Structure 1
Amino acid sequence: MTDTRATARPADTAPPDGCELLVRDARLLVVDADTEIPGGWIALRDGRVAAYGRPGSEPTGAARTLVATGRLVTPGLINTHHHLYQNLTRSYAPAVNGTLFTWLTTLYPRWATLDEEAVHLATYVGIAELLMGGCTTSMDHHYVHPRPRLIDAQVRTAEDLGFRFHATRGSMTRSTEDGGLPPRSVTQTAEEVLADSERLVSAYHDPAPGALIRVALAPCSPFSVTTELMTATAELAERLDVRLHTHLAEDPDEDAYCLATYGCRPVEYFESVGWMTDRTWVAHCIHPDEAELAALAAAGVGVAHCPSSNMLIAGGTAAVREMRRLGMAVGIGCDGSASTDHASLWLETRSALLLGRYRGGPTAMTARDALDLATRGSARCLGRADELGHLRPGACGDLVVWDTPEVALAGALTDPVEAWLRCAPSRAWATVVGGRVLLADGEPQLPALEEKLREHTRAARRMQGLD
């Protein structure tokens, strides 16, 4: 294959004198949307990209070398919306075929049994699965707090595994007794939420370049928190200089709820509580009208597009092409493991490709467009476009070497990126976070994984009432 794409910068950068990791002999190295190098190599040092180049110019003296012969190498995929705890109730039979609201009300009582150990296990197993799907950075929207210190358990787990993690302090304060959707057992007071939000930012948020752990604030939705909490959270995020996240315009039931409760549509309510800001990214954003979408774009609000969850709940899907035309940051999210029932960013990226073409026609979305959503678009949503989502020198050393079965690639000779999403399912062969190989030969390098899976099964059985 020849590289016919526009190159905005030289194909070779200065080879480093020595590096911790060298990935070489790729079938194709995708540096970013502008630069692709057939046969390319990339060198990582001090957790960052040191250099990349064409075959024959590789540096010597690397401490470790991955030979990626025949394989595609891309920036790591970035997950902008997830609920890791939900892998404890995957495909829960009483809930699988309802609307969003019936699905939630069925599962809230199950989630009310969450404790620190269950959250640790869900996070551990969830990170292992994300690594297998080529994810190197994930946020998590944890909004169910029947017990304290659940997000602490998540952060400790991610730190121990060396995974890049954006914890978000979710919350629910409007119970059924107050006109909301969740039961009292999974809600908190506004005072509890705000105090713990500030504690978590102080304890764990690392604003430094290259940070593994960051914290954002994330009230769950217009139908589960009060107006006062939405407003106070936006003010707190401004004061602490952290990002904001919530669900927005996900379902027609949300439109009806906001009109009945607040006298306006969800986006108008969102603006009234101070969330129309460029520190915000929202999940789903399926049902804004053209004027609302333009207002969100003008304010710099980003969107986490969650194709599989949207299709399974059948509530519609985001107008990604139109959002991108407006200049919005649009990333990929796999959403909760009890609505999507998996945590493969590869599968979500492929689904984004298919949905984009289904909505807009055969030229509306390419595999490279979908990859850009899952890398640079997602990095923009998290406020980290400078150092994540690409492999230019100085970027975080987060990359994936992909493995697609040879039989499935038979005949796919002209375009490795299109083949990556069009042919049989791909999984990561190697996943590298900050220069550390966390998945090798297709397997997570997590020595306790088998034991954690057994413990996870026991916790899931208890939560689902099977024991």
Structure 2
Amino acid sequence: MENAHVVTVSGAEYPDGHIVVDGDRITAVGPGKAPEPASASASASASASGSASTRDTERIDAAGCLATPGLINTHHHLYQWASQGLAVDSTLFDWLTTLYKPWSKMDAEVVAGAATAGLGWLAKSGCTTSTDHHYLFPKGRGDLFAAEVEAAREIGVRFHPCRGSMDRGESQGGLPPDEVVEDLDTIIAETEAAIDRYHDPSPGSMLRVAVAPCSPFTVTRELLLKSAELARDKGVRLHTHLAETLDEEEHTREQFGMTPAEYMDSIGWLGPDVWLAHCVHLHDTDVKRLAETRTGTAHCPSSNARLGAGIARVSRLLAEGATVGLGVDGPASAELVPLAGELRQAIYLQRARYGPTALTARQALEMATLGGARCLGREDELGSLEPGKLADIALWRVDGFHAAVDDPVVAFAFGQTPPLQRLLVGGRTVVDDDTLVTVPQDEAGRRGAAAHHRLMRLAEEVL
């Protein structure tokens, strides 16, 4: 690929640059034309047009395009694709108590369709790596975790599913109804089994598993401790929700006498192997502690706005040196939100609260790429365009209407997201000419709609 505006995110930008890919790795990035390969089979470059100069080498002209690292989604709930458009005017706690009812009826077929549509939608917005936080496992409904793993394999994105859990129902002072929680022994056994079956720690891995109790108000202290012990014994990462709403802080202070961040710190749940979703309501001491412990944050601006939760202190976290990535969150609290659009949401919300210099376009792009890679512990392989890193590349068309903005990074981040010309995951094309190609795009959409209709039918008895 050559003649593109290449943003490496690691520091350099090449307004007229090239990227060369060999197999699943980037081998060269720099200004000007791509070098000629040593042999026809030694190198293959990412293509915007699909034209090939030789049988084994694809060399293309990417004039009018912006090349960025593939975007990394650090927080999601794929099953929620099947429950969009419900409880649209509710706060988080009301929204949850409403949706626990239909979610309790989901099965593996619902999860498979929802995950296919959700991951396809993410790919179409430049996402090459996505997490998923699945924490609800109704009994007798099939293998929900396997269903989403298979969907990610079909779509072709790098996947970091988090085996979530809840063991603190209403009878124990938690928020969820008792019928949707699991017991501690089952959770630990099933989580360990998911790690053993799916987690691939090898370089270039397409599938890694994290341990993810749902939140301080839905799990017991014992589950948090056992989960951390299991994750660290297995060498995998830890994830949970934290400090999303003021209701959560009131609940945690009442139950534990501490802020959510203080509580998690007190039980060893802050550290470089942990990333936390939302972190909207952090105190100054919390912000400093997250930075000191190198704990990551998944910032989900659209979901936080949709639920009226507030605006996370992202600018302050970054100023303190904390790790921050971007996340969409579940589609039921961020209907049809594209990951690329979260750059704009993050910029605008920070500026609305803290002023016009609070967050720049390039800072937002770094959060969506290298920041996300750091949250997942993969900054050595993902998040920037550098030789030796995985060939996860997004190519955006910034000609046409977008060409009225001289700076293509500003055009990409501030306005309507430009068309995605090509998306590569490990050098393999997942999106071509703004169209999902691994699973037929219309088919992915139909599977998501079918999952919604199925869940609504299954849930009729409880709605």
Partners in 2 of 1:357 and 1:460 — Cα distance? 36
In the alignment, is the contact (CA less than 8 A) between 1:248 and 1:284 conserved in 2? yes
Partners in 2 of 1:396 and 1:447 — Cα distance? 22
How much has 1:172 moved relative to structure 2?
Answer: 0.9
Matches within 5 A, 1:376-455: 376-404=370-398, 406-407=400-401, 409-413=402-406, 415-455=407-447
Cα deviation, 1:161-201, whole Å, max 9, x if unaligned, reads 32100010011111122221112232111111100111111
Partners in 2 of 1:393 and 1:418 — Cα distance? 25
Matches within 5 A, 1:81-100: 81-92=75-86, 95-100=87-92
In the alignment, is the contact (CA less than 8 A) between 2:159 and 2:206 conserved in 1? yes
State the SS of the aligned residue for 1:308: helix
In the alignment, is the contact (CA less than 8 A) between 1:334 and 1:342 conserved in 2? no
Q: Quick one: which amino acid aligns to residue 364 of structure 1?
A: A
Partners in 2 of 1:228 and 1:426 — Cα distance? 47
Moved more, 258-267 or 273-282: 258-267
Change (3 A) 1:259 1:332: same
- For residue 325 of structure 1, the aligned residue among 319, 339, 349 is 319
Counterpart position of 1:9: none
Counterpart position of 2:100: 108
State the SS of the aligned residue for 1:213: coil
Change (3 A) 1:248 1:377: same
How much has 1:392 moved relative to structure 2?
Answer: 0.5
TM (normalized to structure 1)? 0.91
In the alignment, is the contact (CA less than 8 A) between 2:303 and 2:334 conserved in 1? yes
Moved more, 393-402 or 180-189: 180-189
Partners in 1 of 2:276 and 2:231 — Cα distance? 15
Counterpart position of 2:119: 127
Partners in 1 of 2:258 and 2:14 — Cα distance? 51
Matches within 5 A, 1:207-246: 207-246=201-240
Moved more, 71-80 or 36-45: 36-45
Partners in 2 of 1:258 and 1:38 — Cα distance? 50
Cα deviation, 1:94-131, whole Å, max 9, x if unaligned, reads x1101100001111111111111111111111111011
State the SS of the aligned residue for 1:167: strand
Partners in 2 of 1:66 and 1:356 — Cα distance? 38
Counterpart position of 1:34: 11
Cα deviation, 1:232-276, whole Å, max 9, x if unaligned, reads 101111111110000001111111111222222211211222202
Unaligned regions of 5+ residues in structure 2, if any? 45-56
Partners in 1 of 2:73 and 2:424 — Cα distance? 15
In the alignment, is the contact (CA less than 8 A) between 1:375 and 1:390 conserved in 2? yes
Partners in 1 of 2:123 and 2:36 — Cα distance? 27
> Number of paired residues?
440
How much has 1:66 moved relative to structure 2?
Answer: 4.3
Moved more, 30-39 or 135-144: 30-39
Counterpart position of 2:175: 181
TM (normalized to structure 2)? 0.92
Partners in 2 of 1:183 and 1:129 — Cα distance? 31
Partners in 2 of 1:282 and 1:57 — Cα distance? 40
Counterpart position of 1:5: none
Q: Quick one: which amino acid aligns to residue 215 of structure 1?
A: V
Counterpart position of 2:148: 154
Matched residues, percent identical? 43
How much has 1:59 moved relative to structure 2?
Answer: 2.5
Unaligned regions of 5+ residues in structure 1, if any? 1-22
State the SS of the aligned residue for 1:431: strand
Counterpart position of 2:456: 464
State the SS of the aligned residue for 2:264: helix
- For residue 144 of structure 1, the aligned residue among 136, 144, 164 is 136
Counterpart position of 2:73: 79
